[in-house]
Each structure stands twice: as structure tokens, then as C-alpha cells.
A and B are shown apart, each in its own frame.
Chain A
């Protein structure tokens, strides 16, 4: 029961977008690739860091941009709900009673803008928040199970690319690739990684987002699997230290 093939396939579609535009792979490429990838009409992507408000980073068409704007203007909508819950918001028919009662202002406005269904995926790893990926269709109807699975993997990919981009801007070292050219850490969702990230917030006195960046950077620099670094940290065989001038870590 593995989703490696699905991840590699999705990564391939994203990388194709980057190649077509002649640039390095970024979260914007996810936005472009997910539209044909899960058969939706358009997409938008907002980037956020920690608890700060997000900013619109990419839209694939005018309607996508309007949907993102409407939610900011109206102060309600699936993006906000997804950010709060940490789970996706799947509204396969904006005209139904469910959507109307959830978003009395947004639902009719979104319909007028040309959207019939909206699917929003928070770009999160636990308490780490990197933004949201929004999709819309001009016809009502749910994502199939297969499309939903793909959309979640597109969202995972966007999350890692946004975190990488932030690290790059902050002078971090996590913007690397792992097996198959995918961002390191995408494939290793293990409880130990999450626990180690939490431990590092205390060891380093940093936010959960920065702690995850440091964890990944350490794994990369020392050429160790992320899961193995995490296991050593949780077992207290390894500590990391805050001062960047000191060696990154010592074996305890």
C-alpha cells in the first residue's frame, strides 16, 4: 500500500510545467499542473507563513483570481475554513443548501463569478502553515476518489515547494531535492519526524516552520535520511543547537 508512484507521477506533471516555462520548479507550477491533472477549470494559490495572512501568489485564470479576492473582501469562504480546520473544504455544488448555509455571501458571489464547485486544500503539515491551494469547476460535481487523491498529492507538493522557497529567502539550506528529484521530506511522513520537529522548537527556540527547515537541512547536509535524523532526535541521541556559528550538532 504505497503511493510512491502517484507522487512521482504528480511530481513529473509539475516538473513539466517548470520545463515548459524554462524555470526552476516552484509552487506556481503546481497551480498550473493541477488544473489538467485533476480536470478542474482553474486554480489559485496563496502563500502564508506561520500565522501571518496569506498573499495570492498564482492564479490560472480570471475566475480563480476573483474567487480568491471575494473571500478576502467578504471575510468568509472555503479558504478561510480550510486554514482554520487544517483539512480540505470540498464544495461540489455551490448552489446547494449546504454551501449556501456555510457561506451565505461567498456562495452566490462565487456562482456569479462563474464557479459551480470549489475545492480548497490547506498547505499544512500539522501546525506548519504554508498557504492554500484552491480549485474550481464551472460545472457542479465532486472530485472522484482518484482525483481527490491526486489533488492531495499536488497540495503536498506545493507545501514542500513553498517551504523550500521560504527557506531559500531566509538563508536556510532545506531547498534540496530527494529521491526522484522531489523535495526531501515529501515521502517520509512519520510520527518521529513530527515529534522531532516539535522537539526542535524547544532546542532551537524557533517556530515549528523553522524547526522543520532545520531538521531537513541537517538531514541534507549530513546526507542522512530525514526519518533517521528524526529517530535520533526523539531517542535523544542527537541535539541541534541554535547558534549557526557552532557546529550544527553533536552526538550526545
Chain B
């Protein structure tokens, strides 16, 4: 474990929380730092929606995001067990166990052999789970579990950043706002991907870079982009906008940007 990196990460995460920060952006950074810090292959974060479902709000990679979604759809897996029990759940070798056969098969296809799921707890309530995926089988170090849990706790606290932490209402307001921001960001990714002829993952990276360059919250830029009050015209690759349409079809009619 890199002690320097560890302290830098916690300083970075707590620094971010001081200002008017973007929860979705923050949780993405948290999954990425989890990967670097804990030497795992990928990380994903689920939050409980009071409607009665879990939602994937951040993942360090597309493979991790899809595997999280798969768990939700197939209704089985270590992350769900962790959420339901409120306890950490580890699977050191997914190929050996019979506990989650469908999940194990999907994980194998995604290139993951071991999973550590860590609960996000607030008082007596479980509000989500941070999940660590590794490409190689074998137990997770006690230190990895320990620091992973600390990162999960930081994620929990980040949802309470505004106003009084004593209000139960605050958590629910923040959670729903974050879930809707997630949707705005997906809409903006789609718009940007289509406009610039890039894929949605590249669009997310570009969106996040631009938000940082402009010193703007990710979800605010995403909303402005979708509403048409701000534009991103310079693609990361330098591909001019005129490279579209890709199908060779003439573009029918003018294309007003609202």
C-alpha cells in the first residue's frame, strides 16, 4: 500500500467536498481512486433509490458498470447481498463458488475473478455499496478491505454535504438530485457523442475535462449543453464537426441548436 498516495487521495476527496461540488463527479473520482489505491481492476458504486431499487451511479470502467447492471437485472450477486445484509461480502474466487452462478458467469465474461463488496452505511440504514472487482482470484488483503470501507464511508458522507446532517430529509433530497443529475449527464453524453462523432465514454471524459477547465460543476455543464445554452465544439481528437453525418446520408434541413 502506497502511504503517500493514500493520504493524498483522502486529502483530495475531502478538499473536493468543501466547495459546492458535484456528487456524481465526486463518486466517479472515488471509484477511480479506489482502483489506483487498492490495486483492483475496477470499482462500481450502487445507491438505493427509495422507490425500491438500486441504481448504478458511478463506475471506474464500462465493464464494471455493465456487471453492476447485470447484478441488478439478474437480482443476484455479492453487491446485492452486501446491500441487503449491510455487511461486507467477499468472493475470492468466483469460478469456485455456487453462490451466484449467473453473476459468476457474467463476471468471468467481463474479465473479473474476485469481488469485494463494501456497504455504505448511515446510522442503521444501508444506502448503497462500493464494489471492488479484480481480474485475478485470491483473497483481498485486510488492508484493502479496511481502506475500501473508509472510501465507502467517504462516499456516504458526500451525500450529506449540504445543510444539516441531522435531517433525514437532506439525504433523500441529495440522493434524488444526484440520481437526476446522473440522467442529465447521460443525456449530455449522448448529445455530445452524436455531435462530435465519438463514443459515449469519450464524451464523458470530454465533458468532465471541459467542466474542470471551465471551473463548472459537471451536472451544470451537462444541463446547459442539453438545454443548448452552452456548447462544446472542440472534440478531444481534433476531428472537425463537419466529419458528420457518418452514414453518408445528406442531413435533411437545418439543424438549429436550441
Q: A-side interface residues toward B, CB under 8 Å?
A: 1-3, 6, 50-51, 85-92, 98, 122, 124-127, 142, 145, 148-149, 152-153, 156, 189-191, 194-203, 205-208, 234, 236, 239, 241-243, 246, 252
Tell me which residues across on chain A come within 8 A of B253, comparing CB atoms. Answer: 205, 242-243
A207 contacts B183, CB within 8 Å? no
Tell me which residues across on chain B come within 8 A of A203, comparing CB atoms. Answer: 194
Q: Write the B140-183 contact mask toward A (1 if CB under 8 angstroms, else 0).
A: 00000000000000000000000110011100111111111101
Please list 20 pairs of residues, one from A and one from B, whose beta carbons are closer than 8 Å in the complex, sorted by A's number.
A1-B52, A1-B53, A1-B54, A3-B49, A87-B174, A87-B180, A90-B172, A92-B169, A127-B184, A127-B222, A142-B169, A149-B50, A191-B56, A194-B187, A195-B190, A197-B187, A201-B187, A203-B194, A243-B252, A252-B247
B176 contacts A2, CB within 8 Å? no
Contact with A145, one of B50, B184, B223 (Cβ below 8 angstroms) = B50
Q: B-side interface residues toward A, CB under 8 Å?
A: 49-54, 56, 65, 69, 72, 75, 80, 83, 163-164, 167-169, 172-181, 183-184, 186-195, 200, 222-223, 226-228, 245-247, 249, 252-258
A127 contacts B187, CB within 8 Å? yes
Which residue, of A98, A198, A199, A239, has the highest number of chain B Cβ atoms within 10 A? Answer: A198
B186 contacts A205, CB within 8 Å? no
A86 contacts B186, CB within 8 Å? no
B169 contacts A3, CB within 8 Å? no
Q: Which residue of B lies closest to A207 (CB)?
A: B258
Tell me which residues across on chain A come within 8 A of B195, comparing CB atoms. Answer: 202
Determine the distance from Cα of A6 to Cα of B80 in the docked complex, in whole angstroms.
20
Tell me which residues across on chain B come within 8 A of A208, comparing CB atoms. Answer: 187, 226-227
A3 contacts B181, CB within 8 Å? no
In the A-B complex, the 7 residue pairs with the closest CB atoms: A198-B190, A87-B177, A126-B183, A194-B186, A195-B190, A3-B52, A90-B169
Contact with B194, one of A86, A202, A207 (Cβ below 8 angstroms) = A202
Tell me which residues across on chain B come within 8 A of A90, comparing CB atoms. Answer: 169, 172-173
8 other A-B residue contacts (CB within 8 Å) besides A194-B183, A199-B191, A207-B258: A87-B176, A98-B164, A127-B184, A149-B50, A195-B187, A199-B194, A205-B255, A252-B247
**B52 → chain A closest CB, angstroms:** 4
B75 contacts A2, CB within 8 Å? yes
Tell me which residues across on chain B come within 8 A of A153, comparing CB atoms. Answer: 51
Determine the distance from Cα of A205 to Cα of B176 in the docked complex, in whole angstroms.
29
Tell me which residues across on chain A come within 8 A of B168, comparing CB atoms. Answer: 142
Determine the distance from Cα of A86 to Cα of B22 in the docked complex, in whole angstroms.
13
A126 contacts B180, CB within 8 Å? yes
**A195 → chain B closest CB, angstroms:** 4
Contact with A1, one of B72, B177, B249, B254 (Cβ below 8 angstroms) = B72
